[in-house]
Amino acid sequence: MVELRHPPGTFDVLPAASGPWQIVLSTFSRVVAGAGYGLILTPTFEDIGVFQRIGESTDVVRKEMYDFLDKGERHVALRPEQTASVVRAYIEHRPVTPWKAWYAGSQFRFERPQAGRYREFHQLGIEAFGSADADLDVEVVALGWEFYRALGVNRLELLLNSLGDASCRPAYRQLLVAYLKSHRQELCDEHAHRIEENPLRVLDCKRPQCRSVVAGAPRQIDHLCDDCAAHFNRVEEGLRALSIPFTIQPLLVRGLDYYTRTTFEYAGTGLESAQNALGGGGRYDGLVAAMGGPDTPAVGFALGVERILLALEADAVTLPPVAPLDAFVVDFAGGAQARDLTARLRAAGFRVDRGFDGRSPKSQFKAADRSGARLALIIGPDEAAEGTVGIKDLHEGGEQASVSSGEIVDEVARRLG
């Protein structure tokens, strides 16, 4: 029989290794819920149209989507990112604005798997709808920053740019197209033929040919209209006021088409450049309307969980363990006592596991050690007959004591302080 394995570009996280995932998630929810964002859940798959509207010309949508016809002949796709789903939900339910939501979930992209790049990966994100205020951009950028810092990602750089808006981007785009066309021969094969379609993407190309052309290209930041320039100034001022350092990166464009004005990326400077993009986001004032909703400004970010864990590893940060067990009940009497004691302790609010199957004391003590439990509570045939429980501190060592069954819950509470 063929051995069953996880698909390429995916992975399992077993309980022994999932502690950091839990800490990352709980830290994120604490930081963003503390700023008024509420959890949103959206489907893992959507009608393909939801994603097509975010950017027909991006690789994520053109080449990397897991799309298929379902058994009802509907053309659906696994979400490659979650902003589009949140926008779809916003348009469908029309909540009162300002509306702030956070999410955590798997995203799917058919990419070539490599370190830090998977086909199913996990993002944490926030989206805020209904305000064009630059102070909201600052809030969003600052929440991501604060989250990374709370986890201990210290080698962190914030890159910032403005992509202009509908009134200044078209003129800039023309300038850029003219410039790129005059250098068409020097561009990489892919971009030489895609200048008109999405000139901003050329700015993002990592190939050396494009890189040298792009170095001399006109920059949006030098061609902002007055409103966009004022907005950008206010964002810079806000970040300075919060003592969040940033670097203006005029070539920073986001992979997805719908961004306007503020755009930003968090880079992990302790990681190799292929995987140093920890997360990013920006304003997408045009997307809600482009997807058929009312004109609604919006801003948000998406952060990659796998990348965060890589950055923590690179910085040798160990996250605090998720609360370990209080006690482990070792049972080699095989009667009702272990079952009942475990239930009493759990009902009293303690975190308790136990041995099963009447395994040997040695194997149960090993399991107790592995569990990280502070106390072992031992029920052998003698204890079962006498109505007592043996108790031993697994962290401090020392002798095993005997406590009557009626007093054991109080004794556990006393020992755990």
Closest by CA to 100, choosing from 148, 139, 59, 153, is: 139
Smallest distance, Å, CB 23 to ligand AMP? 18
- Region near ligand AMP per CB under 6 A, out of 109-117, 162-170, 340-348, 385-393: 109-117
Q: Which of 279, 282, 297, 300 binds ligand AMP (CB under 6 A)?
A: 279
- Region near ligand AMP per CB under 6 A, out of 138-146, 153-161, 275-283, 380-388: 275-283
Contact between 123 and ligand AMP per CB under 6 A: yes
With residue 100 as reference, give the H or E element that holds it.
Answer: strand 99-108
Contact between 302 and ligand AMP per CB under 6 A: yes
Residues 201-260 that bind ligand AMP (CB under 6 A): 255
Residue 245 CB neighbour total at 10 angstroms? 10
Residue 157 CB neighbour total at 10 angstroms? 15
Q: Which of 40, 217, 277, 329 binds ligand AMP (CB under 6 A)?
A: 277
Closest by CA to 204, choosing from 246, 250, 167, 145, is: 250
Contact between 127 and ligand AMP per CB under 6 A: no
Contact between 137 and ligand AMP per CB under 6 A: no
Residues 75-94 that bind ligand AMP (CB under 6 A): 81
Contact between 121 and ligand AMP per CB under 6 A: yes
Residues 278, 308: Cα–Cα separation, whole Å: 6
Strand partners, 299: 128, 283
- Region near ligand AMP per CB under 6 A, out of 23-31, 164-172, 201-209, 272-280: 272-280
Are the beta carbons of 85 and 43 closer than 8 angstroms?
yes
- Region near ligand AMP per CB under 6 A, out of 91-99, 116-124, 325-333, 347-355: 116-124
Q: Can you give the length of the chain in residues?
A: 417
Closest to ligand AMP by CB, 121 vs 365, is 121
Displacement of CA 298 from its chain's centroid (Å) = 19
3-state SS, residue 9: coil
Closest to ligand AMP by CB, 95 vs 105, is 105
Closest to ligand AMP by CB, 80 vs 130, is 80
Closest by CA to 141, choosing from 14, 17, 6, 252, is: 252
Largest Cα span, the chain = 93
Q: Which of 127, 137, 257, 306 binds ligand AMP (CB under 6 A)?
A: 306
Residues 58, 257: Cα–Cα separation, whole Å: 7
Question: Which residue type, as a one-letter code, is found at position 242?
Answer: L
Are the beta carbons of 140 and 303 closer than 8 angstroms?
no
Are the beta carbons of 158 and 244 closer than 8 angstroms?
yes
Displacement of CA 95 from its chain's centroid (Å) = 24
Q: Which of 109, 169, 283, 354 binds ligand AMP (CB under 6 A)?
A: 109
- Region near ligand AMP per CB under 6 A, out of 182-190, 299-307, 378-386, 398-406: 299-307
Contact between 276 and ligand AMP per CB under 6 A: no
Residues 381, 406: Cα–Cα separation, whole Å: 17
Smallest distance, Å, CB 76 to ligand AMP? 20
Site for ligand AMP (CB under 6 A): how many residues? Answer: 17
Residues 208, 78: Cα–Cα separation, whole Å: 33
Q: Which of 23, 29, 97, 117 binds ligand AMP (CB under 6 A)?
A: 117
Are the beta carbons of 124 and 140 closer than 8 angstroms?
no
Residues 172, 170: Cα–Cα separation, whole Å: 5
3-state SS, residue 73: coil
- Region near ligand AMP per CB under 6 A, out of 174-182, 193-201, 271-279, 399-407: 271-279
Smallest distance, Å, CB 156 to ligand AMP? 13
Are the beta carbons of 202 and 195 closer than 8 angstroms?
yes
Closest to ligand AMP by CB, 105 vs 218, is 105
Contacts of 41 (CB under 8 A, 6+ apart): 103, 105
- Region near ligand AMP per CB under 6 A, out of 208-216, 298-306, 322-330, 376-384: 298-306
Smallest distance, Å, CB 120 to ligand AMP? 8
Contact between 55 and ligand AMP per CB under 6 A: no
Closest to ligand AMP by CB, 255 vs 270, is 255
Smallest distance, Å, CB 262 to ligand AMP? 14
Which residue of the chain is nearest ligand AMP when measured via CB?
304
Q: Which residues bind ligand AMP (CB under 6 A)?
A: 81, 109, 111, 116-118, 121, 123, 255, 277-280, 302, 304, 306-307
